């Protein structure tokens, strides 16, 4: 199995633009989810915090899933 590395300049413009836009969005979402999870007590989290810690690093759905379904608001 051979893998081919592509240089930045070899990527089409739409891919470069997508990476430049979506990369920082992923970083911000992950940082917000991690900060929230670190500050939130266990009773305010749906499920074990340890699993959510692993989950928020599954990109791109992990941080969104935690922010949407992992927090108790009641």
Q: What is the mean pLDDT of residues 47-70?
A: 94
Phi, psi of 71 (to 5 degrees): -105, 140
Which pTM value belongs to this model?
Answer: 0.80
Q: Distance (Å, rounded) from C-alpha 52 to C-alpha 71?
A: 10
pLDDT given at position 28: 96
pLDDT given at position 36: 96
Binned at pLDDT 50, 70 and 90, residue 1 comes out as: low
| Chain centroid offset of residue 1 CA | 29
Q: Distances from the Cα of 33 to the Cαs of 23, 63, 69, in angstroms?
A: 16, 6, 12
């Amino acid at each position: 199995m051979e893998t081919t590395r592509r240089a930045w300049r070899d990527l089409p413009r739409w891919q470069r633009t997508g990476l430049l836009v979506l990369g920082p969005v992923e970083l911000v979402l992950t940082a917000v989810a991690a900060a929230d999870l670190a500050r939130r007590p266990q009773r305010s989290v749906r499920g074990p915090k340890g699993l959510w810690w692993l989950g928020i690093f599954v990109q791109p759905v992990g941080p969104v899933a935690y922010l949407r379904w992992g927090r108790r608001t009641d």
